[in-house]
Amino acid sequence: MKGTLKIATMFKIPVYLHWSFPLIFVYILFIGYQIGAGPMEMSAIAVFVLTVFLCVLMHEYGHALTARRFGVNTRDIILSPIGGVARLERIPERPSEELKVALAGPAVNVVIALLLLPIVYFLRRDGLIYEAKNELEALQNWNNLLPLLLITNIGLVIFNMIPAFPMDGGRVLRSILAMKMERVKATKIAFIIAQVCALGLFIFGLYWPQYVLCFIAVFVVLTSRIEWKSVAREAALKGKTVKDLMQPIQQKLYLDQKIQLAIDLNKIQARNFLVFDREENVRGVLFFQFVNHAQKEKDFEAEVEKYISDTWENLSAHYPIDNAIALFQQKGYAIVPIIENGQLIGQLDMIALNKYVQSI
């Protein structure tokens, strides 16, 4: 992965650090310098931050290893200064499985907090905890590492369970709703709830004031929308074939025609063309960019043949549309002929396809 550094592979899942991760240490130095911390205090802060990320990493493994139980692999886990993400290859289909995968991350932090609780209790009872005036002062003291870790893990659970994408709580909510209704509808309701939460979080962040919460609120609005759109698209395209979205061949272009004709047609609306020989066989495709190029070069008299490309293949009318989209992206297709029972019955154009996908 670009901009990342592989630091380990555990349980067959590679763990990457995002390039921005070392910025945390720059931040620690900055904070330490501001409060006049010495090397001992600085290292206490650094150890605390590293331990927090270890908890975050274990949280992500909670998701990844639970997903594995349902046959879903995890591509990798990436740690960045704003947290971690386990990139699952797909979301488990069944809502009950998605629910378990979403809950497994925060559950890890609950377990860590429960393990720390008795230790912190005894430390406190024996007067070993330094009662600090604020978090920064507490951070500088080694004895306070465990209590702070306890508070942080509780904080991680609360934060992650906010019922808004991309937090785990958003997935929990969606999967519970999806047990009662269609996944698209469940995602839409979860999306609306996420917006309300984001608004609340934003106002809360303004008045506290903790502006990082406002930043997270904006992030929630953007990512929850992406999640909803992608689920809606997936549902709209499911079961559809190329035949459902193909268009009739409105205008045939022949190899020996002048490119001027394509230029004129392109003026009305940008489009790609199938190019035929006089025996009505498809011989190539004409990208609208090539037509624009010909226009710029004032090459009006050239034959269409000069500008055709062989980046195309016949597609069966029964080919699934989501596979077709992937094929267009992988191979750089702009337009392909659609064949049924050996007959040319239409064309599929990338511009039209994009328009349709965006309209969902």
List interacting residues with Zn ion (CB under 5 A): 105, 168
CB atoms within 10 A of CB 334: 22
Query: What span, in angstroms and rounded, lies between the C-alpha atoms of 271 and 127?
Result: 77
Query: What span, in angstroms and rounded, lies between the C-alpha atoms of 205 and 201?
Result: 6
Query: What span, in angstroms and rounded, lies between the C-alpha atoms of 110 and 58?
Result: 11
Q: What is the DSSP letter of 238?
A: T
Paired tokens of 1: 């992965």
Paired tokens of 108: 């890890």
CB of 32 or CB of 105, closer to Zn ion: 105
**Residue nearest Zn ion (C-beta atom):** 105
CB of 149 to Zn ion, least distance (A): 18
CB of 95 or CB of 105, closer to Zn ion: 105
- Match 């709703």 to its residue by tokens: 177
Residue 70 to residues 61, 77, 146, 230: CA-CA distances in angstroms?
A: 14, 18, 34, 22
CB of 58 or CB of 344, closer to Zn ion: 58
Q: What is the DSSP letter of 133?
A: S
What is the helix (H) or strand (E) element at residue 108, kind and residue range?
helix 95-125
Residue of 155, 175, 156 whose CA lies nearest to 165: 175
CB of 244 to Zn ion, least distance (A): 37
Instruction: Count how many Cα atoms sit within 13 Å of the Cα of residue 241 in the half-sphere of its side chain.
Output: 9
CB of 106 or CB of 337, closer to Zn ion: 106
CB of 82 to Zn ion, least distance (A): 13
Please give the distance of CA 209 from its chain centroid, rounded to a whole number: 29
Beta strands in 109-248 (DSSP E): none
CB of 166 to Zn ion, least distance (A): 9
Residue 312 to residues 71, 241, 338: CA-CA distances in angstroms?
A: 36, 18, 11
CB of 159 or CB of 356, closer to Zn ion: 159
CB of 53 to Zn ion, least distance (A): 14
CB of 105 or CB of 346, closer to Zn ion: 105
CB of 318 to Zn ion, least distance (A): 40
CB of 66 or CB of 144, closer to Zn ion: 66
SS3 254: strand
CB of 105 to Zn ion, least distance (A): 3
> Contact, 141 vs 130, CB < 8 A?
yes
CB of 85 or CB of 352, closer to Zn ion: 85
CB of 54 to Zn ion, least distance (A): 15
